[in-house]
Amino acid sequence: MGSTPVAITGLGLVSAVGASVTALRAALDRGQSGLRRLTLFESELASEFPVGQYDGDLVADFASVRRKLGAREIKRLSRSDLLALCATAQAVNQSGLADAALSPAGVYLGHSVCGTNRSEAYYIDCFRRAQDGREQTRAGIANLMVHEAAQSVDAIAREYGLCGPSTSLMTACSSGANAIGRAAWLIRQGRADVMIAGGTDSLSRITLNGFNALQLVASDGPRPFDAERKGMTVGEGAGVLVLESLDHARKRGAKILALLSGYGHSCDAHHLTAPHPQGAGAFAAMKSALIDAALQPGDIGYVSAHGTSTPDNDKTEALAVSRLFGEGAVPVSSTMRFFGHALAASGAIKAVVCVDAIQRRTLPQNLGLRTPLTESRLDLVREPRAAANLRHVISNSFGFGGNNAVLVFSRESGPAA
């Protein structure tokens, strides 16, 4: 995107640390993790593993910032839908775009879990009815009607009357980042002036149980890039950005928070769950994003790592970062211990973190670090670090199947350092 960067004019966030960018900043500054005991649903794992759960009332949160959808429609929304709507309302409100100006806009969202928690509730209800000898045919099917990923996109489109391109993307944990990158591409191609883009995912039994079955979750929470890391923590949330062509944003006098100046994506083509052992796909996606932004590795002032805290991910990502930038050549941190791994939403949440870093010229810390990994030397940010000359940051999102997405964010002063 080097010659035609895309403006970011609105940010929205719901996560384990709260439902606002203000809450995010407070947590980052204090080094306060949002991980806690699971209360959203019953699980035998609740006492053993913390989660990144949002504890607020999403319906009330949505009503406090924006609400045109009726009560009946609200009842039909999944938790993932509500997370997305709350984050979108924050982002649109900050952008200052009126409904009439939004009508031609579109929405791209990344998903993974979608409405699975509602589908699980339906299954459990049917199972218990069968055990009790009751008729299963009397179980309501409303929970099944909100399972699809497209439900969140459709709800946002209805709420704001969006008539532009609308798509749900599912590339595992890189979904949100890919949605942002692809939405920006539409703007670059002149197919849209404004796009709403991000990712959303809620906690569910199948994800918590599934990652536990893979032995990827840790009882003491994630410690990204630590030599003794034991695994990840499952989380939930939504991150949403309002993207505009730079000309469109400037003409209407919008406050430009940052630029989305580069996007790269790749596939490891290696394994269903394990990353390439040398980080080949991660390296390729980062390099592609830099080329797209017309930047050199030395121009990057911070790497927001995927950093899930699993043994393989952190090792291979460290190798890829060191190969591209040089060992210890660029500050690196993962914010995974603040939010948990919010799956498809993680890349979009990190996008908000990156824009905040650019605005405040402060790098977020790698919370939970005790002893840095030894596979490759990284300049890990141990405490919030001032970065007065920060101009460009890179954000990594790597998913199962080797689905890699990388975004480059820049200050409005220009894409070239």
pLDDT tens readout for residues 129-171 = 777 776 655 656 666 667 777 889 999 999 999 999 999 999 9
Residues 273, 279, 280, 286, CA torsion sign? positive
173 is catalytic: yes
* Pairing mode, strands 403-410 and 392-399: antiparallel
DSSP per-residue letters across 352-378: HHHHHHHHHTEEPP-TT-SSB-SSS--
Domains of the chain, first to last: 7-114+149-410 (3.40.47.10)
Token look-up 């969006």 returns 162
Nearest to 347 by CA among 113, 174, 149: 174
Residues 160, 261, 20, 48, CA torsion sign? positive
Is residue 100 within 8 Å of residue 131, measured between CB atoms?
Answer: no
Distance CA 384, CA 390 (A): 14
Give the model's pLDDT for residue 401: 80
Pick the catalytic residue from 86, 114, 173, 354.
173
Give the model's pLDDT for residue 114: 85
Q: Return the SS3 of 55.
A: coil
Angle between helices 21-30 and 346-360 (to 10 degrees): 70
Distance CA 188, CA 258 (A): 16
What the block records as the tokens of 310 is: 């699993």
Give the model's pLDDT for residue 416: 37
Give the model's pLDDT for residue 75: 81
Pick the catalytic residue from 248, 265, 276, 306.
306
Q: What is the CA radius of gyration of the chain?
A: 20
Distance CA 188, CA 19 (A): 30
Is residue 336 within 8 Å of residue 224, measured between CB atoms?
Answer: yes
- State which amino acid sits at residue 303: V
What the block records as the tokens of 317 is: 């990502």
Cα–Cα distances in angstroms (integers) from residue 277 to residues 98, 129, 377, 403, in the given order: 48, 47, 17, 14
CA angle 103, 172, 5 (to 5 degrees): 45
CA angle 318, 310, 273 (to 5 degrees): 95
Percentage above 90 pLDDT, the chain: 78
- Give the model confidence (pLDDT) of 55-85 as tens digits: 999 999 988 887 788 887 888 899 999 999 9
Cα–Cα distances in angstroms (integers) from residue 125 to residues 3, 26, 204, in the given order: 55, 40, 16
Q: Phi then psi for 408, rounded to 5 degrees?
A: -115, 130
Low-confidence ranges of the chain (pLDDT < 70): 1-3, 134-145, 414-417
Pick the catalytic residue from 147, 265, 276, 341.
341
Give the model's pLDDT for residue 332: 98
Is residue 155 within 8 Å of residue 84, measured between CB atoms?
Answer: yes
Give the model's pLDDT for residue 299: 98
Distance CA 126, CA 130 (A): 6
What the block records as the tokens of 305 is: 């790592």
Tally the C-alpha atoms within 13 A of residue 36's C-alpha that lie toward its C-beta: 12
Tally the C-alpha atoms within 13 A of residue 139's C-alpha that lie toward its C-beta: 22
Distance CA 165, CA 340 (A): 31
Is residue 408 within 8 Å of residue 261, measured between CB atoms?
Answer: yes
Cα–Cα distances in angstroms (integers) from residue 337 to residues 115, 205, 233, 361, in the given order: 25, 20, 8, 21
